Structure 1
Amino acid sequence: MRDQDQGRPPRLRPAPRLMLRESVYEALKRLLMDNALEPGARLSIDGLARELQVSQTPVREALFRCEAEGLVVRRPNAGYLVAPLLGRDALLDLYDLRLLLEPTAAARAATNATDRDRRDIDDAVRAMAPAVHGDSYQAYREFAEEDAKLHGTIASAGGNPLIADTLDRLRAHVHTYRLYFRHGIAEVTTSEHEAISDRIRAHDAAGAEQAMRAHLENSRTRLLTAYDQD
């Protein structure tokens, strides 16, 4: 051991089992978020384990975590099923909750965000630009991922971990829905995100709260068009 390393605690590395659990969870979550598995489809633990080339244990653990996030449901005598898409009423309930939390999170971010937080928020808005004019599924998926990152960064910058954790759990519902219907909403959404970012950068709590509220109300209206077209 080199002299400069003497007396330092050893670096901690994730145990192989922990790395495996996380990789299986992320792989399953991506399948669900990308709608590679149809809503309502039955999930075979044995089949998923074979496909992912792992034992059944990490698959069970991943399904348990996905159930907590609302991506899968467990039914008596049926096992795990891919969660159905949100119905109209459930979507409205979801946005009611987001409207209670996210405007407050944006206002707190305008007050509490560090310079690094503000840069991260601006970077997330800019990262959406390449996907705005794309009409492919991949382009929209990339946009949705950046959208989730932006909202998560704003919530974390607000300094209330309970709000950030709650919103993180809710976001899977919204983006599964949006990836499934994929309406052309990216360009207008970006301008709304820029308005939120501008107010946070200006330390304008009231303006950030108002911009976030307007964005969520507009987002809710756009997503409801999917039901109107059924």
Structure 2
Amino acid sequence: MNPTVEPQDRRLLRRQMLADDVYEAIKTMLMDHAIRPGARISIDGLARDFQVSSTPVREALARLESEGLADKEPLKGYRATPLLTLTEFDDLYRFRLLLEPWAARRAAELVDDAGRDRLRAELATAVEPTSVDYAGYKSLTAHDNRFHSLIAALSGSEQVRLAFQRTHCHLHIFRLHYDRDTGPEVLVEHRQIVDAITSGIPAAAEAAMTTHLDNSMSLRLRKIYEPAQVPPS
């Protein structure tokens, strides 16, 4: 702890660190289905488990509600949100296919040296998952979100960036229980997108993003909705 920080500031910092720890712990439980989709979330129970007051638990659940991972029911408390239904999954990818290939094309048209540096720097942060639980793949999840958000930002449209950000799609997609041993494929496709954008080739950037989304939708993810595995609506 920095000795120059005032005692009150130290308390606030410790509280923020505690709140962040509780948030990450509950988020991990939701992502790994330790709290099952649709299940009620006990604030008092989590506070006892984490040996904290109810305040950081409530703060964490408010953050998770904003990300679409928890729902607050009037007079009842919180529940974990259900997994995406097949219809919701298809709607999400139809939306992404309208938005992101255009953003990649536009980013390639507008890219400058600073944009190239940002894309290459983000690509350099990507690491392959170390395991199939959230602890193992959350780094890839975070990179995936930053990568797609950055391309949306480089399109020059703040509305496009905000529209993508509001979907929290990286969380909802990675929350689905599927064969997550796809890190190498994802990163190869990310490199292809970066190569096209940094080379300033709009058509190639649009095509690379379309291929990436098509592969995620059709080859890597949609198979989880085979009849025996369709989550309840």
Structure-2-length-normalised TM-score? 0.76
- Does residue 1:43 correspond to 2:41, yes or no? yes
Q: Which residue does 1:191 correspond to in 2? A: 188
Stretch of structure 1 that moved more, 214-223 or 168-177:
168-177
Q: How many aligned positions are there?
A: 214
Q: Which residue does 1:104 correspond to in 2? A: 102
Please, which runs of 5 or more residues in structure 1 have no aligned partner?
A: 1-12
Please, which runs of 5 or more residues in structure 2 have no aligned partner?
A: 1-8
Aligned residues of 2:132 and 2:181 also touching (Cα < 8 A): no
- d(CA) in 2 for partners of 1:98, 1:38: 27
| Counterpart selection for 2:12 from 16, 20, 44 | 16
1:192 shift after superposition: 1.6
- d(CA) in 2 for partners of 1:213, 1:61: 38
1:225 shift after superposition: 1.0
Q: Which residue does 1:162 correspond to in 2? A: 159
Stretch of structure 1 that moved more, 79-88 or 20-29:
20-29
What are the within-5 Å matches in structure 2 for residues 1-230 of structure 1?
Answer: 16=12, 19=16, 23=20, 24-76=22-74, 78-128=76-126, 130-131=127-128, 136-137=132-133, 138-170=135-167, 171=169, 172-177=171-176, 180-221=177-218, 222-228=220-226, 230=229
Deviations 1:123-166 (A, max 9, x none): 333443x516x555354343333222211222222232332233
- d(CA) in 1 for partners of 2:155, 2:51: 40
- d(CA) in 2 for partners of 1:15, 1:204: 51
Structure-1-length-normalised TM-score? 0.77
Q: Which residue does 1:9 correspond to in 2? A: none
CA RMSD of aligned residues (A): 2.9
Note closer, same or farther for the CA distance 1:100–1:131 as it changes in structure 2 (3 Å cut): same
- d(CA) in 2 for partners of 1:14, 1:154: 37
Q: Give every structure 1 segment of 4 or more consecutive aligned residues whose post-TM-superposition deviation is greater than 6 Å.
A: none
Identity %: 38
- d(CA) in 2 for partners of 1:161, 1:20: 31
Counterpart of 1:16, as a letter, is L
Counterpart of 1:197, as a letter, is V
Counterpart of 2:174, as a letter, is H
- d(CA) in 1 for partners of 2:10, 2:210: 40
Note closer, same or farther for the CA distance 1:121–1:61 as it changes in structure 2 (3 Å cut): same
Deviations 1:163-187 (A, max 9, x none): 223322322212222xx32343222
Q: Aligned with 2:128: secondary structure?
A: helix
- d(CA) in 2 for partners of 1:59, 1:209: 42
